[in-house]
Amino acid sequence: MTHFKYPEVIQETIKALTVKDSYKSVCHTHFFEYPMPSGNVIGEIVNLTREILFPGYFGDSPVRSESIHYYIGVNTERLFELLNRQILAGLCFQCSMSDPEKLKENKLKAFEITKDFIALLPELRRLLTTDVEAAYLGDPAAKSRGEVIFCYPAIRAISSYRIAHALVKLSVPIIPRMISEMAHSETGIDIHPKAQIDEYFTIDHGTGVVIGATSIIGKNVKLFQGVTLGAKSFPLDDNGNPIKGIPRHPIVEDDVVIYSQATILGRITVGKGSVIGGNVWVTNDVKPGSKLVQFKPKDSLYTEGGGI
Amino acid sequence: MTHFKYPEVIQETIKALTVKDSYKSVCHTHFFEYPMPSGNVIGEIVNLTREILFPGYFGDSPVRSESIHYYIGVNTERLFELLNRQILAGLCFQCSMSDPEKLKENKLKAFEITKDFIALLPELRRLLTTDVEAAYLGDPAAKSRGEVIFCYPAIRAISSYRIAHALVKLSVPIIPRMISEMAHSETGIDIHPKAQIDEYFTIDHGTGVVIGATSIIGKNVKLFQGVTLGAKSFPLDDNGNPIKGIPRHPIVEDDVVIYSQATILGRITVGKGSVIGGNVWVTNDVKPGSKLVQFKPKDSLYTEGGGI
Amino acid sequence: MTHFKYPEVIQETIKALTVKDSYKSVCHTHFFEYPMPSGNVIGEIVNLTREILFPGYFGDSPVRSESIHYYIGVNTERLFELLNRQILAGLCFQCSMSDPEKLKENKLKAFEITKDFIALLPELRRLLTTDVEAAYLGDPAAKSRGEVIFCYPAIRAISSYRIAHALVKLSVPIIPRMISEMAHSETGIDIHPKAQIDEYFTIDHGTGVVIGATSIIGKNVKLFQGVTLGAKSFPLDDNGNPIKGIPRHPIVEDDVVIYSQATILGRITVGKGSVIGGNVWVTNDVKPGSKLVQFKPKDSLYTEGGGI
Amino acid sequence: MTHFKYPEVIQETIKALTVKDSYKSVCHTHFFEYPMPSGNVIGEIVNLTREILFPGYFGDSPVRSESIHYYIGVNTERLFELLNRQILAGLCFQCSMSDPEKLKENKLKAFEITKDFIALLPELRRLLTTDVEAAYLGDPAAKSRGEVIFCYPAIRAISSYRIAHALVKLSVPIIPRMISEMAHSETGIDIHPKAQIDEYFTIDHGTGVVIGATSIIGKNVKLFQGVTLGAKSFPLDDNGNPIKGIPRHPIVEDDVVIYSQATILGRITVGKGSVIGGNVWVTNDVKPGSKLVQFKPKDSLYTEGGGI
Amino acid sequence: MTHFKYPEVIQETIKALTVKDSYKSVCHTHFFEYPMPSGNVIGEIVNLTREILFPGYFGDSPVRSESIHYYIGVNTERLFELLNRQILAGLCFQCSMSDPEKLKENKLKAFEITKDFIALLPELRRLLTTDVEAAYLGDPAAKSRGEVIFCYPAIRAISSYRIAHALVKLSVPIIPRMISEMAHSETGIDIHPKAQIDEYFTIDHGTGVVIGATSIIGKNVKLFQGVTLGAKSFPLDDNGNPIKGIPRHPIVEDDVVIYSQATILGRITVGKGSVIGGNVWVTNDVKPGSKLVQFKPKDSLYTEGGGI
Amino acid sequence: MTHFKYPEVIQETIKALTVKDSYKSVCHTHFFEYPMPSGNVIGEIVNLTREILFPGYFGDSPVRSESIHYYIGVNTERLFELLNRQILAGLCFQCSMSDPEKLKENKLKAFEITKDFIALLPELRRLLTTDVEAAYLGDPAAKSRGEVIFCYPAIRAISSYRIAHALVKLSVPIIPRMISEMAHSETGIDIHPKAQIDEYFTIDHGTGVVIGATSIIGKNVKLFQGVTLGAKSFPLDDNGNPIKGIPRHPIVEDDVVIYSQATILGRITVGKGSVIGGNVWVTNDVKPGSKLVQFKPKDSLYTEGGGI
């Protein structure tokens, strides 16, 4: 009985996997002192920011008038330190060679960006306060603003979006995408960090919502689950690859409501105050004040075993 | 080279963030001895309940006839203790001032509710056994009941729902919502804990399913992914806010099947034994035994670069 | 004041929950030395495999030409050990009695399967490299292949699928399902591990995608969020249960694109090069080169308080 | 081959171990809402106190003039909360029955004691500053006060002692003993929390030092490793048990140095400025300014294999 | 500036460290399925045993008459499982080749030994109850038996010794030594697991106590800190190595007290009821009822700068 | 009932503790990018080094001829990275101002030192192999070299010493002291990292051993527990502080054995081949080949209640 000898296949496979040709297009080369972005730390950064913006709901920051500044102080300093290093990691992520000058330059840049982000925190809180208000007022099941802040996936997704969007505006690479994918994974809501979304924004239920990179959303807009603000097919360049950076997602003006599973495609405009019904598919401009709904489904015959 | 001095912007931002006006509507004030609900502990409570109800599948509770009672015993005592404190935290969540009398009253209430919940565990197991049966029999890909219990997101979401619903009936605030949002995040299935769902309920795949707060679902109902049982627009009160508590979601009678992405809206009734096809949008009553399907899509022209 | 005595209801409930009839159909009996599959370890296995296949992106495996073989070596050995035990656990999961001979046989089998899986790693890397290529080229928002590997939920879901599918082909029970449900929970993308998917496969956004067990997908296929490749109703056997194992999901040929929320049902064929528009519902064969889109939604009247 | 059946001896042993007579004198009965002292939390309390008293050396509390008050603030609030609960646990530890009135009384008492302890923190820092000074000046190997604070087991043991002694003076049961045993385990230095030790106290190396409960130590005393300040035999009461609470350990006056392994026993006085040499055994008063040393060892014959 | 290139010395050192000659006498070869003993698991085993023997003091096992059997049951089953695997690891530790037959034999042996150990638990509790009694009655500072069980390093060290000694008697290799070294590290008390110690044994303070492998200690013996029961020089074999297994440590009869820092060497007998004073060095038999003390130290002159 | 109001004493105490005068001599000021040494990471560094030097005993590094280089490779690279940062932290520990030039210089220095340390690993393994040999041959209770490596506190303490000493020779501040204090805490053996110790060194039992900073120990020396190689009183400088750096501890020549609790003080020489008996106190040179023992203790009268 000799079955459990060390299997040769392990050695052979390791050999095959370390042939350079087999990994060169799917590997990431590390350079000394160039940190790698860390999903765990970025998760902590988002939580810490939420803890600062909504004092008393998350983490260990009890709010009392006597002591709230201690918690805001400690959390803001810690945020500064963690974020500074992740921004540096983001700046290094696409560097293709180890270069002390480049590293030094990136360190200065990361430091400046981090300061700029910290300065944006009060405005982030103001914006999110409008989103909480919109979610609370718009949902008959909501008992209190506290419940909305503490439990609603929409607020989780929108706060991650607003953080990621602030970083995008400061030209931070990769990190905003990581933040939005983490929120996507937790909530099923996929908001591209480049999208522009104004105040009093809310999403109900939310699973399946997709908001593309060049979308522009006005004030006081409400989306339901499964809504897509997407692109139609893309113009290709001479090599047959999609041309990047062209506006290709919808503009949704103020006071629009879009019901569940609706799909809005292309650089069209949904006019102010429109209501888009569930499960529709829209690829042309919608005039302000419009109401769009799907055709009523027909009744059909249904034969047993024969499927729908 | 003076770049890395302590940045003044940190102090200024902390100052701005601790101005009372900036946080007063989005903060939660803590009072001594008023515990805060904890997402981690509530996750543990749900896992522990699953471990008790489905012995041998989760946690460290081996099932052997000689010793099963030890594990059920230890887990039930632990569940009592954890749940008691979280229910108290839920009761305190919306208190607006520190009041020893109120705290004492809440403690008694939490203790009574916890006892009542514990007493419901056998009925919860009975109901979930019917759901497992429905999932197993209804899915040609299911190999065994064990696979259904151990792997299926539907059972994960439905067990969380049944736990949360039991707590809703015992008037526990906030905690049921937290439980349902955790299941929502894990499975993409969003069942409001106030919904009423009878036995032998199942969901296939499940991502994107939404079941609203006043929905009523009969026995032996099956939903596929993306199904919405939602509300139409809400009546508003004199202040322009939605009136809370009005029945506004569908009634789905026994033996109904609803296929993927269908949207059923408003306080309508889907009659016994009906089959609703995928991607339809229903806002009127459906007679018992109906079969509804979407119009067949047309073929269209497709010009290169011009979108679909 | 005698409220906080040890509540008798705990003892009564424990008694009720340990009555054999109450748990026998929802419990899993443990036998000595028969390990139970562990979700945590399986998560670690998937991460380790990703770390081996995409060196330098995940875990702690810096890639430098001098040292990459150390990391691949350590990770592959560790993968062997963890996987071997989980495969054994999978083989034991449905055993109904403790039998030393059976256990010995399963150990040999697990060992052989693990070796076969390890030998497949280079092919898995080759396949996933094509998927990364497809995602990168097909998305105008993608900045680099690195961003695709590091952040895109599609790559996360597809790599989990390809690992799970390799295990399915080696006849490993339960473990592939666990892997696919974990990816489903993280990404909202539900690919059955039995589905057959060829190279250069990609999914955009992805939440809500469902790919059924008997689906067959060709080369260079792209799906958007919410697409279902599902089954229609199932033929039943004499006991009224679904007949298992019959092909019942679509065949999607090479170069097909399917837009968001489309539902393709039954063992139909979507011909080479077809484009399926969003939100459509397809239950019949689609000829090669077809373009299908939904009817354009009508404008409707909207009366206040009266719903959409 | 039937070896791995569930062994009956497990059931029999469990039965034997749950016979009340077998455990009644070595068990601790729990009552609802009476917390049990927790070694882990007490460890955290000691660390937190050290972090407050020596800012910047322990934990995550960077010292900068701009922000030190945030860290002191957060840590002091957290210390209050943790300590309050452990003091309550200590007060409950020896309660022999569940009594709501007693619990309420203990809660008030714990709250008052915790406040009193917090108020002592500045004096604790002052005292420990003198101990750091004594250790730094007295050790030719010490490079800086920072090294003494950060690395020296003496400072670790003395700071635990000073915390524990403050709690003893506030009549907290059990917790001080737990603190001193934790320091004992870490450093090999065993200082009874009831001992009275004045400022500028230091210990070199420290392993094996024992300072008994009724010892009184003056200012500027230095001990080396292995020194015992112990009791001689104890007077017994009528039942043959030691009479508790009688002064039975030495008084060591100001400016005394005691070298390694010396044993000082009984309620004797070692006069001001005395020096006690290593390995001596002292049971009588020592006059101020004395120098005591051991006899010089003789040379002896040593025969091979015959022992020393 | 090229300082941070990957340093070649790393590759050279790795090469040097993997030359077989450099590691062959200080490495441990692993064989598939031969587990390695784990310090962490052994620590858990000791804690679990303490939790079973002293119910209510350690871990999460509240003692109430209604439910104590659940906790004892779960803990005993868990102890069985963990211990079984560590005993197997101990049996494999010194195997020098991978041999399936040997492995099978070791598994059977480990299983039998584990059963025998479990059956000894009630006797272990009885013995430890006498030790607790001795510690409580003998220490004027002890407030209650609970304090002794919960806090005293002597009880920690003696309970580890009694567990380790039980495993020694069952011929388990390496594991007993690991247990005693863990207690040694925590308490500074070094009791060889082969020593034989009768009931009502206690140690005060304890740091520095050493009890050698062939020591025999009677009933009701008390040791203070720093006491050594050691060996004199050892007879050597023809190769100049110590002959193993010869009785070489003291026999201490009933009712003996040995004060701090005393050193008792060689296979001598300290007769019943003797008292050995602190800091003495004993290498001959001591008659029953003797009292031994050190010479009184002389006063000496002390010149500044000239040493003691 | 107003007892549980937020206590004002917290605010007052925080205020007192943040007065600069109260903390200035016991605080450590942080500068941006100057890392602080971390006890946890240094513990990991020591474990990793042990794992590299004694392959197969610690951590997760199975030794098989096929794969040992993977583990040595990964561990050595990781050691490089962790150590580099801790050495930098050590160099920064005593910097008194933030200075970019100083930081840059320290980075280069840390990088060079780390490379030098890595290059010393093979010699460290050679030395430790001689220590293992000495411990194995010298202890009749040792079953195998494996047991010595895996369990003996002496090997733990000596390996930490040899690592720390190598860092001292490379002029690393603070880190060596941290390493030796960690070993001191675990084993009760306190070896100053500056001491010079030649090959084949061993310690039996070990608790209480102290080896001072300027000690010099030859080949093949054995110490027992409680041995002190210490300093007598120190010459003082003009300010009354001890003069640092003067040789003040013993020289112990080859082949010396020192039995338990012996105290050797001052810059004396214990000649080659000497044997020092237990509990003696030596302050003068000892000629080669000497045997020193304590006087035999006298028998004394013992009166009840009157002490020994």
**Domain D195-295: CATH architecture, name and number where available:** 3 Solenoid (2.160)
Nearest to A18 by CA among E4, F69, E10: F69
From chain C, pick out residues whose CB is under 8 angstroms from the CB of D33: 4
Percent of chain E past pLDDT 70, that is, above it, reads: 91
Q: Torsion over CA of F102, F103, F109 and F113, rounded to 10 degrees?
A: 140
- Residue in B closest to E61 by C-alpha: B74
Q: Do A226 and B245 touch (CB under 8 A)?
A: no
CA distance E74 to chain B (A): 6
User: Which is higher by pLDDT, B195 or C231?
Assistant: B195
Q: Do C28 and B226 touch (CB under 8 A)?
A: no
Nearest to C36 by CA among B150, E160, E183: B150
Residue C294: band (very low, low, confident or very high) from pLDDT cuts 50, 70, 90:
low
Answer whether C124's CB lies under 8 Å from C158's CB. no
Mean pLDDT is lowest, of C148-152, C187-191, D231-235, E256-260, for D231-235
Q: Do E10 and F118 touch (CB under 8 A)?
A: yes
Q: How far is CA C45 from CA A39, A269, D60, in A?
A: 18, 47, 34
Answer whether D215's CB lies under 8 Å from E112's CB. no
CA atoms of A210 and A225, how far apart (whole Å):
9
pLDDT the model gives residue B97: 73
Answer whether E52's CB lies under 8 Å from E69's CB. no
Crossing angle for the helix pair C100-119 and C121-138, to the nearest 10 degrees: 50
pLDDT the model gives residue B182: 97
Three-class SS state of B146: helix
Ramachandran angles phi, psi of A207, nearest 5° = -55, 130
pLDDT the model gives residue F294: 61
pLDDT the model gives residue A302: 35
The model's pLDDT over A207-258, given as tens digits with 9 standing for 90+, comes to 999 999 999 999 999 999 999 999 886 666 777 666 777 899 999 999 999 9
The pairs formed by B179-182 with CB atoms below 8 angstroms and a separation of 24 or more are: B179/B42, B179/B46, B181/A151, B181/A152, B181/A153, B182/B39, B182/B42, B182/B43, B182/B46
pLDDT the model gives residue A168: 98
Starting at the earlier edge strand, list the strands of the sheet with B275-276: A298-299, B291-293, B275-276, B257-258, B222-224, B202-204
CA distance D185 to chain A (A): 31
Of A6, A11, A64, the CB nearest to F6: A64
Q: Do A5 and E100 touch (CB under 8 A)?
A: no
pLDDT at F71 over 60: yes
End-to-end CA distance of chain F: 57
pLDDT at D51 over 90: yes
Residue E1: band (very low, low, confident or very high) from pLDDT cuts 50, 70, 90:
very low
Q: Do B140 and C234 touch (CB under 8 A)?
A: yes
CA atoms of B27 and B19, how far apart (whole Å):
12
Answer whether B181's CB lies under 8 Å from B201's CB. no
pLDDT the model gives residue E303: 32
Answer whether E299's CB lies under 8 Å from D291's CB. yes
pLDDT at E72 over 70: yes
Q: Torsion over CA of D124, D130, D134 and D135, rounded to 10 degrees?
A: 40
- Residue in C closest to E66 by C-alpha: C11
**Residue A210: in which H helix or E strand, if any?**
strand A210-211
CA atoms of A218 and A197, how far apart (whole Å):
6
Two tokens, residue E184: 């040694």
Residue B279: band (very low, low, confident or very high) from pLDDT cuts 50, 70, 90:
confident
Which residues are paired to D265 by β-bridges?
Answer: D230
pLDDT at B41 over 90: yes
Identify residue E18 by its one-letter amino acid code: T
Q: pLDDT averaged over chain F?
A: 89
Three-class SS state of C82: helix
Identify residue B75 by its one-letter amino acid code: N
Mean pLDDT is lowest, of B114-118, D99-103, F36-40, for D99-103
Q: Do B228 and A225 touch (CB under 8 A)?
A: yes
Q: pLDDT averaged over chain E?
A: 89
pLDDT the model gives residue F280: 82
DSSP A25: G
Two tokens, residue F167: 């860092």
Nearest to D43 by CA among D207, D183, D206, D152: D183
CA atoms of D45 and D79, how far apart (whole Å):
6
Identify residue E293 by its one-letter amino acid code: V
Two tokens, residue B222: 């099956």
Q: What's the fold here for domain C32-188?
A: serine acetyltransferase, domain 1 (1.10.3130)
Q: Do B279 and C281 touch (CB under 8 A)?
A: yes
User: Which is higher by pLDDT, B89 or D138?
Assistant: B89
Q: Please compute the mean of the pLDDT values over residues C219-226 and round it to a whole number.
A: 96
Q: Do D151 and F174 touch (CB under 8 A)?
A: yes
CA distance C73 to chain B (A): 32
CA distance A298 to chain B (A): 6
**Domain D27-189: CATH architecture, name and number where available:** Orthogonal Bundle (1.10)
Crossing angle for the helix pair E175-187 and E153-169, to the nearest 10 degrees: 170
From chain A, pick out residues whose CB is under 8 angstroms from the CB of B225: none
Three-class SS state of D72: helix
The CATH code belonging to domain A195-296 is: 2.160.10.10
Two tokens, residue B210: 């939404």
Q: What's the fold here for domain B29-189?
A: serine acetyltransferase, domain 1 (1.10.3130)
Q: Do D297 and F282 touch (CB under 8 A)?
A: yes
pLDDT the model gives residue D63: 82
- Identify the contact set of chain E against chain B, taking CB-CB distances under 8 A: 60, 62, 67, 69-71, 73-74, 77-78
Residue D295: band (very low, low, confident or very high) from pLDDT cuts 50, 70, 90:
low
Answer whether A284's CB lies under 8 Å from C301's CB. no
From chain D, pick out residues whose CB is under 8 angstroms from the CB of C100: 1-4
- Identify the contact set of chain A against chain E, taking CB-CB distances under 8 A: 1-6, 32-33, 98, 100-101
Identify residue C42 by its one-letter amino acid code: I
pLDDT at C1 over 80: no
CA distance C64 to chain A (A): 6
Q: Please compute the mean of the pLDDT values over residues B147-171 and round it to a whole number.
A: 97
Q: What is the pTM of this model?
A: 0.93
CA atoms of E20 and F68, how far apart (whole Å):
10
Domain boundaries, chain B: 29-189, 195-296
Domains A29-189 and A195-296 share a fold: no
Neighbouring residues of A105: CB distance < 8 A, sequence distance ≥ 6: none
Three-class SS state of B54: coil
Of E6, E10, E66, the CB nearest to C11: E66
Of A11, A66, A67, the CB nearest to F66: A11
pLDDT at C55 over 90: yes
Q: Do D69 and A70 touch (CB under 8 A)?
A: yes
- Mutation target vs B (from E44, E48, E60, E74; most B CBs, 10 A cutoff): E74
pLDDT at F76 over 90: yes
Integer-rounded Cα Rg, in Å, for chain D is 24
Q: Do D100 and C5 touch (CB under 8 A)?
A: no
Pick the CATH number of E31-188 from 3.90.420.10, 3.40.50.10420, 3.30.465.10, 1.10.3130.10: 1.10.3130.10
- For domain F30-188, is the CATH number 3.30.70.20? no
Answer whether C17's CB lies under 8 Å from B52's CB. yes
From chain E, pick out residues whose CB is under 8 angstroms from the CB of A100: 1-4
The model's pLDDT over D181-231, given as tens digits with 9 standing for 90+, comes to 999 999 999 999 999 999 999 999 999 999 999 999 999 999 999 999 998
Q: Please compute the mean of the pLDDT values over residues F99-105 and round it to a whole number.
A: 85
Nearest to C110 by CA among E32, D3, E109, E31: E32
**Structure ipTM:** 0.90
The model's pLDDT over D118-162, given as tens digits with 9 standing for 90+, comes to 999 999 999 999 999 999 998 888 889 999 999 999 999 999 999
Two tokens, residue D19: 């016979």
The model's pLDDT over A4-52, given as tens digits with 9 standing for 90+, comes to 677 899 999 999 999 999 999 999 988 888 889 999 999 999 999 999 9
CA atoms of B200 and F160, how far apart (whole Å):
64
The chains in contact with chain C, meaning 3 or more Cβ pairs closer than 8 Å, are: A, B, D, E, F
DSSP H helical ranges for chain D: 8-17, 20-23, 39-53, 68-93, 100-138, 145-151, 153-169, 175-187
Q: pLDDT averaged over chain D?
A: 89
Mean pLDDT is lowest, of A276-280, B247-251, C194-198, D145-149, for A276-280
Neighbouring residues of A88: CB distance < 8 A, sequence distance ≥ 6: A35, A106, A107, A110
